Amino acid sequence: MSTSADASAPTSTSTCTWPSAPPCRCGTTTSPEERDTMVENEKNYVTVNHTVFPAEGVAEVSALYVDTGSGDGSQPGEAYEIVNRRSIKVYAHRRVSLSTFFNAFPASDWQHSTTVRSVRLVATVEGRGLISVYKSSARGRASALASKTFTDETVEFDLPVTSFIDGGFYWFDIAAGSSDATLVSAEWQVVAPEDWTPGKATVGITTFNRPSYCLNQIIAVGQNEHVHEVLDRVVVVDQGTDLVSDQPGFAEAAARLGDKLAIIRQPNLGGSGGFSRAMLESLDGDSEYVLLLDDDAISEPEAIVRAVRFADFATVPTIVGGGMLHLDDRSVLYTQGELWDQRKSWMRPSGESEYDHDFAEEPLRSTPELHRHLGADFNGWWMCLIPTRVLREIGLSLPVFLKFDDIEFSLRAREHGYPTVCLPGVAVWHMAWHDKDPTRTWEEYFIHRNRVVTGLLHSHVRSGGYLPLHSFLGDIKLLFMLQYSAVRLRHEALRDVFRGPAQLPELLPSKQGEIRELRTRYIDSKVVEDFATLPPVRRSSVALLGGVSKPTNPVAAILLAARVGARQLLIKQAPGSRRNPERIISAQDITWWRFADIDSALVTSPDGIGVAWYQRDRATMHRFLWRSIRLHLRLARQWKHLASEYAEGAPRITSPARWRQLFDAVQSGD
């Protein structure tokens, strides 16, 4: 049976203007009511969202799929039992809500980006109970729309998608009667136009020596029947030496995909090189989309289906991004869409949302800011669907190895009229960033260079806005913290920026190795795992007094920074600081003011494996400070010229032809 969300709306039978009832297929005459039913049944309904539940780790991720807080206060395990990936049993006299990240329907995004103006909820239920449909506003206020008691049946609700400009979701709750009730399955369906053709995607996975993770991705994609409906090919670009094809279980996973699976081996060209290869493969085939997946992410397979179907109905070719959930804290959403601040060429969360939202602590229903429509400038390539039409028009990734390639691509697409939508309910689990500090790795070179290149290409603020100053102050901060290796890499990054865009493809195969070697020349890069091999800590007189306190206001911070700078420039390091470290500083506590009055320290690594011995060197401070001043003055002066040079060169170095030339060269060893 069909239940309308608006009981006051006029019925379609009252608007029929046919002069007489036409003959039906059986040769009899139909009434207006029967004729409306025939028309409705002939509509092409397409499922765009399946209601899903976790296959494993229920306690860790339950808050992303099921909410019991809107019912009787039951806890997971007390109110329901997950039967399978599509089905949930609700215990007698209990109630559960699907107002959750993975099961609420993102009506606002559908209204914004598609011509869809109605959605049908189809739920098959067993037992007796009540199913209730709700909608939310952009303020997060929930309204009950319709409800239906059920007894072993399929229930349908037709719902308008017309009042969600500022934000909002649809969802439904299930309450069991005096005995258990089971949701067998539920789907959100939309009507497809008569000329609608379903799109298919090439899933592109790039991997480097993470074969077990990559195999898990292949298995997750291959074993889901709904994914197969939208799947054209799976292209795995293996850039490592520990091959995914050598893993136990690979043959079985490959057999499940058959000729849809392609394994391509190539030298390590970073994420941009691996994903560009997958993009190129999709252009050589018939796929409407390429869907990029990180090798070390864990997929919710339903998210792949949702991304493809949303793109199918988008009014213009649209990049559809997935959110990133923390792999080590699985109910936490790192981000669902970000903005790019062209004044500093850096990212920030969309709207009023913040990074690291924990749905276990703050469910969707009780978090108003998540109900607002959030625009986005880009989406990370941990999961991102790109129409092949966009690739044909604007080219492939910028050849930058890693970092900022995803940001730059979406900004370039936007300038050509192709938006990015970070769709709620679409996400993967990925290793979080809180155990990483790029300034303490070789990645700092690529982050800094690519940030500046992205600014040159897409910042329309005079002289790059705050970027040159922001970059210079970043150098000062690192110098205060005795991280000379990071400053050296940042200077190398700026020097390479000045060399222009044409050299970016040429650097791709070799630059990582050069940067790794360059970084090893500095003592702060060397991590010692055996703490006992290091000399004991001997605290200086200042350290014995407790050191310097954190500045409590901007004026105090400026005064302390001036003092630290003067000390590091004018006073030679104490000889004893080279024989014994003066303090131990944990990775999470590493800030510039903690080094204000010391000349050396043992600093733990972010992953907890070991420590690095940071040592102050006045000569290095002098040399790097003056170099930083020269480089940043040059960057500000030449910004306009460099921006023109990169704007002119970018189409050439991102073209499929240039990438194909690069792939051929690295495969042949040239």
Catalytic residues: 406
DSSP one-letter code for 362 = S
Cα separation of 420 and 627, whole Å?
Answer: 39
DSSP 553: S
CA atoms lying within 13 Å on the CB side of residue 651:
7
Other CB atoms closer than 10 Å to residue 140's CB: what's the count? 18
Q: Which residues neighbour 532 within 8 Å (Cβ) at sequence distance 6 or greater?
A: none
Instruction: Tally DSSP H helices, then E strands, for the chain.
Output: 20, 25
Q: Using CA atoms, how far apart are residues 314 and 336, in angstroms rounded to an integer?
A: 19
69 Cβ partners below 8 Å, 6+ apart? Answer: 97, 363, 365, 366
What span, in angstroms and rounded, lies between the C-alpha atoms of 106 and 349?
Answer: 19
Interstrand relation of 95-97 and 170-176 (parallel, antiparallel or unpaired): antiparallel
Structure tokens at 407: 């940001």
Determine the residue type at 27. G
Q: What angle do CA 387, 392, 395 make, to 5 degrees?
A: 100
Give one word for 39, left, alpha or beta, with left for phi > 0 and alpha for psi -120 to 50: alpha
Q: Within 10 Å of residue 575's Cβ, how many Cβ atoms?
A: 8
Q: Is 347 helix (H, G, I), strand (E, B) or coil?
A: strand
Backbone angles phi, psi at 380, to 5 degrees: -65, 155
Residue 346: exposed, middle, or buried by beta-carbon count in 10 A (0-12, 13-18, 19+)?
A: middle
Is the CB of residue 334 less than 8 Å from the CB of residue 326? yes
**E strand intervals along 516-575:** 527-528
Alpha-carbon distance of 229 to 187, in angstroms, equals 15
Measured over the CA atoms of residue 538, residue 540, residue 544 and residue 548, the dihedral's sign is negative
State how far the Cα of 217 lies from the Cα of 222, in Å rounded to an integer.
Answer: 8
The CA distance from 141 to 522, in Å, is 56
The span from the CA of 182 to the CA of 80, in Å, is 9
DSSP classification of residue 434: T
- Tell me which H or E stretch contains 38: helix 32-42
